[in-house]
Amino acid sequence: MTIEFNCPSCSKVLKTADDKAGLSAKCPGCGQVLVVPASKSEAIESEPARESKAKDGWDDWNESEGQATDKEEFAPPQRKKRPCPMCGQEIMSAARLCRHCGERFDDGKSVPAGSGKFAPTTIEAGEVLSVAWGTFKENIGMAIVGMIIPAVITFVVQMIVSTVIFAVMFAMIQQGMKPDDFQMASIQVASNGSDVLLRWLMGTYFGLGQAIFFLKMCRGEEATVGDLFGAGKFYLRGLLVMLLVGLMVMVGLLAVCIGAIIVGLVMSPVLYYLADRDKGVMETINGTYKLAWPNLGSIFVLALANFGIAVAGTLALCVGLIPAIPLTMVINATAYLMMSGQLNSRTPDVA
């Protein structure tokens, strides 16, 4: 006797022999894992479907595996989507931020920024590396894009500024003006100062953009190139945060060198915290400290791992840096999510 019932997810009519009751398999229509009803009385009978001879992927069953053997059964399920509760645009079902309107939400309902799940957690470096590696393998292409675009833009801007400074010096020489020691020193200060300023301005902007980008990737959400330019509302606070962190590092250098290293390690997730929690300047610094200090040992191990990955990429004729640097970014984002209790294990974004 044949059991016929509807998939609870997509309503596709399915059928199989009654001796398969209680076994599990994926629906060939939507990929939903379901259990065959235990008895005929539990199945949703469909007379028109009984008359239909169309294949549904459930006719051939492999008892040893407990799965249907039709090839359609093994097609990867499509990623589930749902409308944003604010703007109505289609987004991933697991998304916590709408990429169209920027609305944050949880369980389908809009929530204030920074009010999602957040529980400071002690992490293990090995677990972070394992989870990050899995995420990186699945998203290697987009991870490389997330590193290359900001790097190329920053390089181009720095080259333009350096060219302008060189052009000024060349023009002075062409006009017979031989710069004296003071002028040469001023030009050198201007050159170095512009480099530091650019690193601060562009480093903060793209640092926040990459934090948004890689946090979404590590959550299983859809990261887009637009996220790399999404630092807008965080930017001014980010500049102040990075300025204060830089001052703290300098104080650490003046006191004891190890102090600067500790400050750098503890404050390493600061841009992730700001992009994720959307807090004020001092709240961000204080919150980052409370999150990272209990995990200082693991953060140090992860920093060593990142350094080793970068060195290995450099030794591979520097070409290895193309995947190596994005991998370190995935590791940092994963570490933040696990420290904040938002990511406990690597789980797929489809049910």
Return the domain boundaries, the chain. 2-74, 79-116, 125-147+210-339
Print burial letters for 243-262: b (CB count within 10 Å at least 16), e (below 16). ebbeebbeebeeeeeeebeb
Q: Tell me how far apart the alpha carbons of residues 4 and 47 are, in angstroms, rounded to a whole number.
A: 9
pLDDT at residue 303, rounded to an integer: 96
pLDDT reading at 96 higher than 90: no
Contacts of residue 34, defined as CB under 8 A and 6 or more positions apart, other chains included, come to 7, 8, 9, 24, 25, 26, 27
pLDDT reading at 115 higher than 70: no
Share of the chain above pLDDT 70, in %: 73
Q: Say which range, 87-91, 108-112, 268-272, has the weakest mean pLDDT.
A: 108-112
Contacts of residue 70, defined as CB under 8 A and 6 or more positions apart, other chains included, come to 28, 55, 57, 58, 59, 60
What's the rounded mean pLDDT across residues 224-239?
95
Q: Tell me how far apart the alpha carbons of residues 266 and 86 are, in angstroms, rounded to a whole number.
A: 36
pLDDT at residue 300, rounded to an integer: 96
What's the rounded mean pLDDT across residues 305-314?
94
Return the higher-pLDDT residue of 31 and 101.
31
Return the higher-pLDDT residue of 213 and 115.
213
Look up tokens 């292409």; give the residue.
141
